[in-house]
Structure 1
Amino acid sequence: MDILKEYMRTIRGFHRNVKLLLLRSFIICLYTGIYGILFNLYILNLGYGADFLGLVLSAHVLASSAMSIPAGILCDRFDKKKLMVVAGMCSTLAAVPLYVIPSAWSLLLFSIVGGIFVSISSVVLTPMLAENCTKEDTVHVFSANSSISWIASILGCAMGGIVPGMLGTFAGVKADSLRLTLLSAVVLLAMGLVVTLMIEERKGAPKSRCALFSLKSLKLSPDVLKFALTSLTFGAASGMIVPYFNVYFTQSLHMSVLDVGLISAVAGVIMIGGFIITPYLTLKIGKIRAACASKLIAAPLLMLMAFAQSVLLAAGAYVAYMFFINMAGPATTSFQMEQIRREEQGFAVGMMMTGNYIAVSLSTYVSGLLIAGGNYLLPFIGTCTFYLITAALLYYYFKDVEQRPLRLSTPIPRAAYTAIVDLE
């Protein structure tokens, strides 16, 4: 309870812009929760196979990847709020035909368009959160963003599982009811745009003085390259099986859409606890060690899910896996923002997202081909392998960069001492 009280007290002191950005995250992730549960099934129930589904998903991710570095450059040179508003407006407009026109060319085209503008919003969000908070609050801000995103995902997953049933599809999944649910969810994108308009761009925010697309200005620091490489390996892991969890549950374990939605919601609830203790965990063992440990623990849980014959065992392994693989995310992001200068954070985030998206796109497409042939085991093994590689790289690169976690026996600032006493 002391940890929770300290966590909530810190959140109440956030800057107004941070609170608006967190509200936007809630609204957008409510949409993505619905999308994540239903979109794959919507494509399959239109009559397309898992190979085409993999193509659509990889095209979306590849488009996001191609736009990440230009988005980062724009982020460092222009008003972040305006960029986010334009991107939000275009994302909303691109989502409508995605659910109205069922042809293959339309699904591919608007998945690409949506991926381009989602990339801009994603790149801009991290530097905006970082520049609107103090260094001491950075972990709490990114932890709160993850917590709120997961709360929204819980609701979105539950809605994605329940709403089609309310539309009369308990007997089976139908593309028309899924389309109607997804179209209704587009309203949430418009609401997120309204919240973005309420954000004030902070005066004095750092901007690059270099020419807009000057190649000479794109100097890659060693840390940015290291972060980009670890983002690439983590993306390779994420793309192998994560996008197909709902397909695996419904087709291999024969779960219903409602069951998938409820399991995802339970995982989200458990994740909230993980995000709340993340600042406390990083204080004890450090950000990088927390990130490495989470991946090392998540890998065997993933394999347990792959070999589980029982629905209950697979669901339990999934919930535990989601807890560990995601809980250290805020700590990793906080560490990255601390190591990168503010005037180049947009470019750095773009580089990291590019590596991540390229890897996700390729691994998603390859896994789609494997799953279309009925092979789920290799994607699970590939995911575990890349998690272990990512953990090893993070520890090798940054184990000596991060300061040792604070101890009560060493002199520490008064504010930090107060936080530790409250937590413990």
Structure 2
Amino acid sequence: MTDVFQRNVRLFILRSIILSVYQGIYDVIFNLYILNMGFHEDFLGTMLAVSLLTSSIASVPAGILCDRFNKRKLMLIFTLLSFLSIVPLFLTSSPLVLLFFSAVGGLCGSVSAVCATPFLTENCEHDTVRVFSMNSAFSWMASIAGNAAGGAMPLLLLRLLPVAGQYRMTMLVALSLLLAGWSVLLFMKDGTGKPSSRKPFKIRFSPNLTKFTLISALMGVGTGAIVPYFNVYFTKVLGAGPSEIGIVFAATNALMVVGFAITPRLTSWLGKVRAASLTQMASIPFLVLMALSTNFMMGSFAYTSRMFLMNLGGPAVTSLQMEMIDPEERGFAIGFMSTVSGVVVAAATYASGLFMAQGNYLLPYVATCIAYILAAGLLYHFFKDSERSPDSAVAEQAQRYKLSA
């Protein structure tokens, strides 16, 4: 990579690290903060669903903006707006205000999220699996610090504030990380992709985009049904406190760092499609174990194993998507996939919150198992021959990687 590419990639990874520390704190604290203000899982589910729904609705317009305008500048503008919309969530207990700013935050965050992957792709040339794996590894490593901080900070505030106050203060302190992540964008250079604002925009639904969208939608069932509620699962089902949750989340993220370090080797050996499909299928038994467990140690083991295997092939899938989609349409493609997936995630999050409010924690896990099995099976079915086709862009990219490894 050239010096400009290397600088942008390094700064992008630094930004990912900073934002991942914040996300690690958020993952431990936010749901507990809402519940300790006196709300129940049904309102929490509504709040999360509103954010996801507005984010998904905004994803296609965000993708169009990404393809037609400067990606770095878009991220600068909308990351700042996202920060401004998150602050009120920790300053009020009004249900209407919480729902309104959840919606605004989802909308603003959508643009930055859609722009990020194409921007990084533009700056990592051909070695996409290695760069995406490196970014994921450092992000998960940073999440360890965030999880640990999210578990420890309420304990430090234990004698000073009530429980909800401890959580609120923890999140307000963590918001400084969002500003730090935004400031890193100021030091980046614009990517190599040229905005196409003067060209007429044409929407094309290629067969590959349709297939990736279907797979993303199925994955969205699990993302919505169980992932937002992992800390609720540990609290209500396993009887864990925030410090224990922080330790488990941090240990899981530490294991993920090891996983992402071996992802390039795994994909070089098996291929992107086979590696992702097999690891996702291997995670299903541990998801079943989570659903059936009421023991903290057993549930923690199942959670860690499930997270490790389910996310191991993530960089390979992202790389595959970017290689099989036209560079000038990547923003729209990501936006469209995000929209469809986001609607599914929002619906699953809302429905899961209703079930959990009634004490039914099993059904969301059953639905997730079925959806993940279908998603992994379709990924293999649709793309199992893609990396072997001599005319395929994926084969060319895989060959380049093998020669440079």
TM-score range, shorter chain: over 0.9
Q: Confirm or deny: 8 A CA contact 2:70 2:195 kept in the other structure.
A: no
Within 2, Cα distance between the matches of 1:388 and 1:322? 15
Within 1, Cα distance between the matches of 2:158 and 2:399? 60
**Residue in structure 1 matched with residue 394 of structure 2 by the alignment:** none
**Residue in structure 1 matched with residue 69 of structure 2 by the alignment:** 78
Return closer, same or farther for 1:210/1:99 CA change in 2, 3 Å cut-off: same
**Residue in structure 2 matched with residue 200 of structure 1 by the alignment:** 189
Corresponding position: 1:38 with 2:24: no
Within 2, Cα distance between the matches of 1:290 and 1:82? 35
Aligned-pair CA distance for 1:209: 4.6
In terms of mean alpha carbon deviation, does 26-35 or 261-270 score higher? 26-35
**Residue in structure 2 matched with residue 168 of structure 1 by the alignment:** 158
Residue 15 of structure 1 aligns to a residue in which SS? helix
Correspondence for 1:285 among 250, 270, 292: 270
Within 1, Cα distance between the matches of 2:8 and 2:158? 41
Return closer, same or farther for 1:95/1:418 CA change in 2, 3 Å cut-off: closer
Aligned-pair CA distance for 1:310: 2.1
Aligned-pair CA distance for 1:362: 0.4
Q: Confirm or deny: 8 A CA contact 1:158 1:262 kept in the other structure.
A: yes
**Residue in structure 2 matched with residue 138 of structure 1 by the alignment:** 128
Within 2, Cα distance between the matches of 1:19 and 1:123? 19
Within 1, Cα distance between the matches of 2:177 and 2:364? 33
Give the 5 Å matches for 1:31-180.
31-135=22-126, 137-168=127-158, 174-180=163-169
Within 2, Cα distance between the matches of 1:356 and 1:364? 12
**1:33 is matched by which residue type in structure 2?**
G
Within 2, Cα distance between the matches of 1:233 and 1:15? 35
- TM-score using structure 1 length: 0.90
Q: Confirm or deny: 8 A CA contact 2:122 2:193 kept in the other structure.
A: no
Task: Name structure 2 gaps, 5 residues minimum.
Answer: 391-397
Residue 374 of structure 1 aligns to a residue in which SS? coil
Aligned-pair CA distance for 1:18: 1.0
User: Could you report, residue by residue, the CA deviation over 1:123-177 in whole angstroms, capped at 9, with x for unpaired residues?
Assistant: 0000001010121x1001111111111112111111110001011169x971111
Within 2, Cα distance between the matches of 1:169 and 1:250? 21
Matched residues, number: 398
The two structures, once aligned, show a CA RMSD in angstroms of 2.1
**1:235 is matched by which residue type in structure 2?**
G
Deviation >6 Å, runs of 4+: 412-415
**Residue in structure 2 matched with residue 191 of structure 1 by the alignment:** 180
Aligned-pair CA distance for 1:343: 0.5
Corresponding position: 1:400 with 2:385: yes
Return closer, same or farther for 1:417/1:347 CA change in 2, 3 Å cut-off: closer
Corresponding position: 1:380 with 2:371: no
**Residue in structure 2 matched with residue 4 of structure 1 by the alignment:** none
**2:180 is matched by which residue type in structure 1?**
M
Residue 387 of structure 2 aligns to a residue in which SS? coil
- TM-score using structure 2 length: 0.94
Return closer, same or farther for 1:418/1:201 CA change in 2, 3 Å cut-off: closer
Return closer, same or farther for 1:415/1:144 CA change in 2, 3 Å cut-off: closer
Within 2, Cα distance between the matches of 1:77 and 1:359? 27
Q: Confirm or deny: 8 A CA contact 1:45 1:173 kept in the other structure.
A: no
Correspondence for 2:336 among 351, 356, 380: 351
Within 1, Cα distance between the matches of 2:282 and 2:100? 39
Task: Name structure 1 gaps, 5 residues minimum.
Answer: 1-9, 406-411, 420-424
Return closer, same or farther for 1:218/1:41 CA change in 2, 3 Å cut-off: same
Q: Confirm or deny: 8 A CA contact 2:72 2:191 kept in the other structure.
A: no
**2:402 is matched by which residue type in structure 1?**
A
In terms of mean alpha carbon deviation, does 70-79 or 137-146 score higher? 137-146
Q: Confirm or deny: 8 A CA contact 1:54 1:368 kept in the other structure.
A: yes
Within 1, Cα distance between the matches of 2:6 and 2:111? 23
User: Could you report, residue by residue, the CA deviation over 1:326-353 in whole angstroms, capped at 9, with x for unpaired residues?
Assistant: 0100000001101011110000111111
Fraction of identical pairs, as percent: 47
**2:25 is matched by which residue type in structure 1?**
I
**Residue in structure 2 matched with residue 258 of structure 1 by the alignment:** 243
Corresponding position: 1:371 with 2:356: yes
Aligned-pair CA distance for 1:35: 1.0
